[in-house]
């Protein structure tokens, strides 16, 4: 065995799980022995303990750290082993097998990227093992190696081994976990741990640690460099007028000069420098590092934001579907307001237990959700938060639910959405009529192309004000222009809709189809509606057509929108008189790469109008005109045009 102790070794955290008495601690103690990690005096101490108790030498006692654990013969808390093997550095985390210690086990497993499942050949997979697999799945540990222990007690019988293998694989796959390999071992005798044994001539795989290094290498090849960049904002430090945005990178990497996006606030800036402790002129940083960012333009954000690159931000919402394990001795209560902790975010929440099939509330079964129980839930937060889903490959997906005095549950965001998309099926007896005047002829008559300017932004950001002035400016240029104002449409076309997420989506769908009708007659269509959900704006883009859809993000910091409060919505929401106010207690998913981003807290309406006119000229909707003024900040747009930039706070 070659041991490399250099700092360049790849580090892997591996949680070891399994039913009580299946041999986890014995296996870990044996690994310590095999890797030469146990001092001679420690071995002698354990030998004396075993002799005094008239026991066979037990490697588990090398691992169990507490005298109480040795007296009871069980592992109570999580304990860690560090060792190196064949060019890899490992931290093995021993997780308790007893139901009472699931909370400890959850704490250990949350840091791991691989699991070793220890299964007794005689007993097979037991109920506790299934629970542990569920928790591993929820905490993002989706690959395991099975150590089929005590193979000496079945006389190294291949038939029995294969029968247990088949059942074990089936149960693992039911939990949507990948079973990398099943390795027969005897932890007590030290067989097939680091070296093969002649007693298992029928086994063609590598010993356990050889298998572990192979899987570790596979993880190296698919690991976090390919994941989207995520940095959890820990705090903002101020030094002599500068601000440093400090936190830990949990996936991906960042380079000096990168444009970054803050969620849920939707603010953007650029990395001027990366600060690391005792390092200078840092050009990049990667997953696992704690850093501070100095930005070219200051933004006002607080702890709890998730920092990403501009083109791959996390989701923002006030509710999500999840899977959780209940860890508290106090049973779940649907009436209790809990505290959700995800990353560095802490926000009050409600927990609704649902039926996995129907997605309906299950109050009867919820009453039985106690320590060790599992449930599908909907988490509803008091304000918007940022998170990922496992399918995205990012890891801002794990959460805990707390009371004032206790950690009540731990879980993971489910890939399935809370809301089922409305099915819109066209009646097969309908047909799309053709033969009307073609759009190109209208555009020839109008002397400009048709286009849709889709404004999105918080209430109070200035969408309606901009729409009115833009309509006037285009009208004065002899353009055919129409404004579809969200509030106005709710007096008629959308008067039957409320402000639930489903109704908001339907509102956007109707507006998009209306805009498409005007577009087909060569109009420039200006829509002014909050349209808070990214998926709804994408649907609008599909309905209208990507080539004609220009997303205009009228950005304004929430605090400034609250100060303006033209409709009195924020003050009413603060007083508890109304709810579902976007950006306050209802989510707003800010565009990551709009056609143009206009900061109404820094730009005049005239400057905003000119920015949009230049965008239309750039896309040849209007004849190209010389800019009226040259005092505008630069605006980033999706096509790469940088004639005007709106800097945000």
The answer on pLDDT for 98 being more than 70 is: no
Cβ–Cβ contacts within 10 Å for residue 465, how many?
A: 15
Q: What CATH number is given to the structural domain containing 278? A: 2.40.30.10
Q: Are residues 232 and 323 in the same domain?
A: no
CB 253 within 8 A of CB 274: no
CA dihedral 354, 358, 360, 364 (to 10 degrees): -60
Please report whether residue 637 resides in a domain: no
Least confident of 193-207, 297-311, 319-333, 359-373: 359-373
Active site residue 464: no
CB 249 within 8 A of CB 289: yes
Q: Are residues 592 and 446 in the same domain?
A: yes
* Sequence-distant (≥ 6) Cβ neighbours of residue 162 within 8 angstroms: none
The Cα 605–Cα 608 span in angstroms is 5
Whose CA is closest to 251, among 180, 312, 292? 312
The answer on pLDDT for 630 being more than 50 is: no
Q: Are residues 364 and 447 in the same domain?
A: no
Out of 309, 343, 366, pick the residue that ends a domain: 309
Q: Please give the C-alpha separations between residue 463 and each of 46, 443, 486, 523, in angstroms, as whole numbers.
A: 74, 26, 10, 19
> Residue 416 has what pLDDT?
81
Q: Greatest CA separation found in the chain?
A: 102
The answer on pLDDT for 643 being more than 50 is: no
What is the pLDDT averaged over residues 392-418? 83
The Cα 515–Cα 561 span in angstroms is 27
The answer on pLDDT for 516 being more than 70 is: yes
Q: Are residues 249 and 284 in the same domain?
A: yes
Take residue 134 and report the two structure tokens written for it.
């569920």
Domain count of the fold of the chain: 4
Q: Which structural domain, as residue segments, surrounds residue 357?
A: 317-413
Q: Are residues 209 and 230 in the same domain?
A: no
Range with the largest mean pLDDT of 107-116, 417-426, 609-618: 609-618
Least confident of 79-88, 102-111, 128-137, 382-391: 102-111
CA dihedral 365, 370, 374, 376 (to 10 degrees): 50
Please report whether residue 217 resides in a domain: yes
Q: Are residues 284 and 151 in the same domain?
A: no
Give residue-wise pLDDT tens across range 34-59: 776 666 767 677 767 777 776 666 66
> Residue 107 has what pLDDT?
60
> Residue 404 has what pLDDT?
86
Please report whether residue 338 resides in a domain: yes
The Cα 478–Cα 523 span in angstroms is 11
Take residue 376 and report the two structure tokens written for it.
């599908």
Q: Are residues 269 and 330 in the same domain?
A: no
Lookup result for tokens 């508890």: 576
Give residue-wise pLDDT tens across range 564-622: 999 999 999 999 898 889 988 899 999 988 999 999 999 999 999 999 999 999 989 98
Q: Please give the C-alpha separations between residue 191 and each of 123, 154, 207, 485, in angstroms, as whole numbers.
A: 19, 14, 9, 74
Whole-number percent of the chain with pLDDT over 90: 49
Whose CA is closest to 12, among 190, 255, 196, 180? 180
Please report whether residue 400 resides in a domain: yes
The Cα 20–Cα 36 span in angstroms is 26
Please report whether residue 604 resides in a domain: yes
Out of 287, 309, 331, pick the residue that ends a domain: 309
> Residue 329 has what pLDDT?
81
CB 223 within 8 A of CB 58: no
Quote the crossing angle between the two packed helices 463-476 and 605-618, to the nearest 10°. Answer: 60
Local structure of residue 423 (DSSP, 8 states)? P
What is the pLDDT averaged over residues 157-186? 91
* Sequence-distant (≥ 6) Cβ neighbours of residue 450 within 8 angstroms: 439, 442, 443, 518, 519, 520, 521, 522, 523, 524, 525, 548, 621
Across the chain, how many H-helices and E-strands are there?
17, 25
SS3 per residue for 195-230: CCCHHHCCCCCCCHHHHHHHHHHHHHHHCHHHCCCE
Q: Are residues 175 and 218 in the same domain?
A: yes
Take residue 189 and report the two structure tokens written for it.
């005798």
Residue 161's H or E segment, with its range, is helix 158-174
Whole-prediction pTM: 0.78
CB 330 within 8 A of CB 322: no
Residue count of the chain: 649
> Residue 628 has what pLDDT?
39
Please report whether residue 562 resides in a domain: yes
The Cα 287–Cα 248 span in angstroms is 8
Q: List alpha helices for 254-408, DSSP H.
A: 363-366
Give residue-wise pLDDT tens across range 205-258: 999 999 999 998 887 766 555 688 999 999 999 887 788 999 999 888 999 999
CB 160 within 8 A of CB 130: no
The Cα 395–Cα 465 span in angstroms is 40
Take residue 302 and report the two structure tokens written for it.
């607080």
Least confident of 33-42, 145-154, 168-177: 33-42
Q: Are residues 479 and 576 in the same domain?
A: yes
> Residue 333 has what pLDDT?
86
Take residue 33 and report the two structure tokens written for it.
């022995």
The Cα 109–Cα 96 span in angstroms is 11
Q: Are residues 443 and 527 in the same domain?
A: yes
Q: Are residues 200 and 284 in the same domain?
A: no
CB 209 within 8 A of CB 217: no
Q: Residue 77 class from Cβ within 10 Å (0-12 exposed, 13-18 middle, 19+ buried)?
A: middle
The answer on pLDDT for 120 being more than 60 is: yes
Whole-number percent of the chain with pLDDT over 70: 82
Decide the pairing of beta strands 230-239 and 306-309.
antiparallel
Take residue 348 and report the two structure tokens written for it.
């009050």
Out of 261, 281, 309, pick the residue that ends a domain: 309
Give residue-wise pLDDT tens across range 315-327: 999 999 998 888 8
Give residue-wise pLDDT tens across range 459-508: 999 999 999 999 999 999 999 999 999 999 999 999 999 988 889 999 99
Whether the bond into 264 is cis, omega within 30 of 0: yes
Take residue 221 and report the two structure tokens written for it.
């090849």
Give residue-wise pLDDT tens across range 267-309: 999 999 999 988 889 999 988 899 999 999 888 899 999 999 9
DSSP sequence for 28-54: HHHHHHHTT-S-HHHHHHHHHHHHHTT
Q: What CATH number is given to the structural domain containing 586? A: 3.40.50.300
* Positive or negative: CA dihedral 298, 303, 308, 314: negative
Whose CA is closest to 637, among 599, 605, 594? 594
> Residue 639 has what pLDDT?
35
CB 84 within 8 A of CB 8: no
Q: Are residues 206 and 234 in the same domain?
A: no
Catalytic residue among 451, 464, 505, 531: 531
Please report whether residue 643 resides in a domain: no
Least confident of 75-89, 105-119, 480-494: 75-89
Lookup result for tokens 């609704």: 352
């Amino acid at each position: 065995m070659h041991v490399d102790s250099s700092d360049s070794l790849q580090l892997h955290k591996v949680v070891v799980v399994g039913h009580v008495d299946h041999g986890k601690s014995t296996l870990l103690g044996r690994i310590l022995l095999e890797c030469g990690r146990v001092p001679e005096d420690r071995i002698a101490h354990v030998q004396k303990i075993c002799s005094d108790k008239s026991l066979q030498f037990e490697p588990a006692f090398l691992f169990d750290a507490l005298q109480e654990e040795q007296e009871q013969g069980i592992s109570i808390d999580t304990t860690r082993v560090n060792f190196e093997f064949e060019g890899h550095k490992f931290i093995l985390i021993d997780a308790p097998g007893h139901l009472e210690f699931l909370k400890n086990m959850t704490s250990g497993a949350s840091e791991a990227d691989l699991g070793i499942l220890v299964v007794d050949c005689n007993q097979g997979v037991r109920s506790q093992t299934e629970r542990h697999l569920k928790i591993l799945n929820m905490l993002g540990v989706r690959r395991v190696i099975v150590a089929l222990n005590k193979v000496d007690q079945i006389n190294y019988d291949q038939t029995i081994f294969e029968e247990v293998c088949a059942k074990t694989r089936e149960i693992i796959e039911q939990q949507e976990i990948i079973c990398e390999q099943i390795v027969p071992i005897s932890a007590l005798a030290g067989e097939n741990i680091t070296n093969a044994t002649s007693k298992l001539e029928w086994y063609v795989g590598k010993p356990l640690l050889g298998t572990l290094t192979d899987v570790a290498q596979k993880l190296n090849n698919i690991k976090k460099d390919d994941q989207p960049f995520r940095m959890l904002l820990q705090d903002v430090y101020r030094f002599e007028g500068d601000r440093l945005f400090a936190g830990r990178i949990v996936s991906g990497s960042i380079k000096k000069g990168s444009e970054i996006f803050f969620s849920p606030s939707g603010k953007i800036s650029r990395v001027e420098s990366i600060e690391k402790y005792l390092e200078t002129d840092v050009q990049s940083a990667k997953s696992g590092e704690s850093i501070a960012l100095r930005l070219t333009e200051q933004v006002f954000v607080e702890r709890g934001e998730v920092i990403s690159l501009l083109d791959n931000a996390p989701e923002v919402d006030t509710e999500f579907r999840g899977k959780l394990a209940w860890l508290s001795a106090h049973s779940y209560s649907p009436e209790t307001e809990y505290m959700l902790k995800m990353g560095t975010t802490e926000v009050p929440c409600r927990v609704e237990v649902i039926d996995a099939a129907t997605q309906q509330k299950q109050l009867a079964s919820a009453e039985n959700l106690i320590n060790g129980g599992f449930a599908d839930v909907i988490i509803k937060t008091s304000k918007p938060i940022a998170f990922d889903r496992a399918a995205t490959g990012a890891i801002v997906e794990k959460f805990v639910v707390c009371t004032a005095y206790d950690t009540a549950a731990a879980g993971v965001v489910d890939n399935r959405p809370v809301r089922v998309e409305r099915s819109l099926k066209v009646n097969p007896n309908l047909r799309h009529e053709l033969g009307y005047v073609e759009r190109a002829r209208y555009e020839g008559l109008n002397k400009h192309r048709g286009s849709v300017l889709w404004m999105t932004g918080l209430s109070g950001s200035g969408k309606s004000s901009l729409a009115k002035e833009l309509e006037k400016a285009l009208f004065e240029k002899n353009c055919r222009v129409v404004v579809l104002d969200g509030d106005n449409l709710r007096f008629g076309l959308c008067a039957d809709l409320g402000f639930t997420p489903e109704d908001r989506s339907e509102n956007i769908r109707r507006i998009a189809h209306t805009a498409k009708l005007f577009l087909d007659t060569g109009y420039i269509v200006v829509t002014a509606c909050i349209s808070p959900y990214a998926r709804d704006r994408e649907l609008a883009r599909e309905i209208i057509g990507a080539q004609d859809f220009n997303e205009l993000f009228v950005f304004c910091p929430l605090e400034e929108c609250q100060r303006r409060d033209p409709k009195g919505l924020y003050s009413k929401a603060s007083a508890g008189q109304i709810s579902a106010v976007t950006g306050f207690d209802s989510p707003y998913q800010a565009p990551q790469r709009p056609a143009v981003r206009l900061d109404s807290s820094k730009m005049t309406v005239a400057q905003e109008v000119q920015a949009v006119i230049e965008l239309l000229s750039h896309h040849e909707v209007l004849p190209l005109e010389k800019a009226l003024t040259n005092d505008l900040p630069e605006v980033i747009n999706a096509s790469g045009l940088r004639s005007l930039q709106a800097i945000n706070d």
